[in-house]
A = this chain, B = another copy of it.
Amino acid sequence: MFHSASHDKMSTHIIRQVREAILKGQLLPGQSLPPEKDLITQFGVSKHTLREALRSLEAMGFIEIKRGAGGGPVVSEVDMETTRDSIANFLHFQNVSVRDLSEIRKIMEPYLARLAAERFSAQEIEKLEEIDRKCRKIFEKKKSVVGAKEEIDFHIFLAQASRNPVMVMVLDFVNSMLTDLKTNIKPDMEFSQHVLDSHQKIFEAIKAGDGDKAQECMLAHICDVERELEALRERDEKQAKIKQAV
């Protein structure tokens, strides 16, 4: 049996059409779509149906909708946050451990540290140093770098050494998920001090253009973080058991 197109939900038709127009480049990011009332007539559906379709497209990150005069639906590039959230939602059901995230880091980040040491321009080295300086300032004020955007930025910026957007994306969500775990575990000052020291060593190897050493220091750093987080997690579990017993 064949299903006639009209058997599907109307909104899925609209979603598919707009989505394909964007992916084919017929609609470019920044361009405005016609306002609701025009789209209603163009697609021949009711306001209710059209708005459902726009909501879905918005959830997928394809459009943003602004209210008021001159507003309306605007095509936008699907951004990293939308994608990161989607990945995080998926992995939430997959029982991801610190070990899983660290395993990926151990494979990829030492490679990237080496590339950075071999490829970074003077400008890029300066930018990396600035990120590191910001980390230190945050530590001095808050006595922690955990959850600090700059602490992740250090790693993401290295990923950009690869000039590979897929690599950047993977490192982005791996590091951001790890940070989420960290903020639950609430590491101590010592942990943050170790992180800053490790970053320092990695930075110096990169600045010296020493690929071998950068690779080696990065691997050691990731292993350290994994070990310390595991230890802290076990400590928390024990405390939880004691509390439960009381």
Contacts and interface: CB of A to CB of B under 8 A. Distances in A.
- Assembly of this chain: how many copies? 2
Interface string A163-175: 0111101100010
A42 B72 CA distance: 30
A86 interface: yes
A90 B82 contact: yes
A93 interface: yes
Interface stretch (A54-62, A181-189, A204-212, A213-221): A54-62
A237 interface: no
Given A56-B58, A87-B83, A111 B107 contact: yes
Chain A, interface size category, equals 35 or more
Nearest to A173: B166
A91 interface: yes
Interface in A77-129: 77-80, 82-83, 86-87, 89-96, 100-101, 103-104, 107-108, 111
A104 B56 contact: no
Contacts of A201: none
A90 B100 CA distance: 24
B92 A23 contact: yes
A55 B96 CA distance: 28
A57 B11 CA distance: 15
A169 B52 contact: no
Nearest to A65: B9
A103 B11 contact: no
A3 interface: no
Interface string A34-71: 00000000000000100111011011111000000000
Interface in A188-234: none
A83 B136 CA distance: 36
Contacts of A93: 29, 77-78
A53 B60 CA distance: 13
- Which 5 A-B residue pairs are closest in the complex by CB-CB distance? A94-B165, A86-B86, A59-B59, A83-B90, A56-B59
Contacts of A166: 91, 94, 96, 100-101, 103-104, 174
A230 B53 CA distance: 38
A79 B86 CA distance: 10
A87 B89 contact: no
B83 A78 contact: no
